[in-house]
Amino acid sequence: MLKVRGLEVFYGPIRAVRGVDLDIEAGEIIALIGANGAGKTTTVRAIAGLATYKGSISYDGTTLTPNSAEFNLRAGLAMVPEGRGILGRMTVEDNLSMGTYCRKDRAQAAKDVVEMYERFPILSARRHSLANLLSGGEQQMLAIARALLSRPRLLLLDEPSLGLAPKTTTAVFELISSLRRDGLTVLLVEQKARQTLKIADRAYLLETGRVVMSGQAQNLANDSLMSQAFLGGATTP
């Protein structure tokens, strides 16, 4: 579904991503894990179309044009950015309306918003309050609900657990694995590697802008090098 080949992204003279290859098949949950500064966020931003890059990214067999997020969204590629990216000065309702901004089927889109309120009752209860005033977990629900309203087929999630309480994190992870049942493909960027590998099918481990390890999530979780470096060494006493 998504093929990334030789991806290189620069911040001025600094090469933040140095030749990343990724493959995502339809229906998978793929994890992209690694430490701070490994290039995870830069990689998904490039895929979403928020950055210029070298190398190629193809989606459903079509090569994407760099830095064209508006276009990619309409092709079915949505992203929830790091820090949730809610529009805090707008109401919950306006945020969800923005989720349907790209759609032409206004009537169906309006129905989908109603459905989204049923799926996330907390958003329905707070629909007229400013999104800034929501709790971190509620904001994450809002950000995911808003992304779903664009009817994506591939959803990129950048650190959805960032700044959330453990209990809320668990709820967000449950929500993400439920998305697969709706036929969605997910690329999940996370630092919380252990929890991420539990719900992912496959994973890529990034270090200083390169993929240093990839494979079945289960195998990565059991890998000793991996556990020492990124899982806090919990499996090696």
Partner 1 sequence: MLLQQLVNGLTLGAVYTLVALSFSLVMGILSVLNIAIGELFMLGGYLGFAVIARELPLPLAMAVAMIGACAVSVVIQKIAYEPLRDAPLITPMLSTLGFSIILQNIVTNVWGSDPLQLPSEMFDADFMVGPVRIGVMQIVVIGVTVALVGAVAYLVQRTPAGRALRAIAENRDVARLLGVSVSKTTFLAFAISGLLAGAAGVLISLHYAAITPYIGVDIGLKAIAVMVIGGATRVWGALLAGPLIGIAEVLTIAYGGSQIRDLVVYGLMILILLLRPQGLLGGARSDVGQRV
Binding residues vs partner 1 (CB under 8 A):
48-50, 69-70, 73-74, 78-79, 81, 85-90, 94, 97-99, 101-102, 146, 150
- Minimum distance from residue 30 beta carbon to partner 1 (Å): 19
- Minimum distance from residue 57 beta carbon to partner 1 (Å): 16
| Other Cβ atoms closer than 10 A to 131 | 24
CB closer to partner 1, 25 vs 70: 70
**Tokens 């701070």, residue located:** 36
CB closer to partner 1, 18 vs 103: 103
CB closer to partner 1, 109 vs 179: 109
CB closer to partner 1, 128 vs 181: 128
* Residue 23 contacts residue 61 (beta carbons within 8 Å): no
At residue 210, what is the residue type? R
CB closer to partner 1, 19 vs 66: 66
Q: Is beta strand 29-34 parallel, antiparallel or unpaired with respect to 210-216?
A: unpaired
Distances (CA, A) of 206 to 28, 121, 148, 167: 19, 37, 27, 27
CB closer to partner 1, 78 vs 188: 78
* Residue 203 contacts residue 214 (beta carbons within 8 Å): yes
- Minimum distance from residue 74 beta carbon to partner 1 (Å): 6
Sheet of 202-207: strands edge to edge? Answer: 77-80, 154-158, 185-190, 29-34, 202-207, 210-216
Tokens describing residue 206: 């990034």
- Minimum distance from residue 147 beta carbon to partner 1 (Å): 8
- Minimum distance from residue 73 beta carbon to partner 1 (Å): 4
Q: Is beta strand 202-207 parallel, antiparallel or unpaired with respect to 14-24?
A: unpaired
- Minimum distance from residue 206 beta carbon to partner 1 (Å): 21
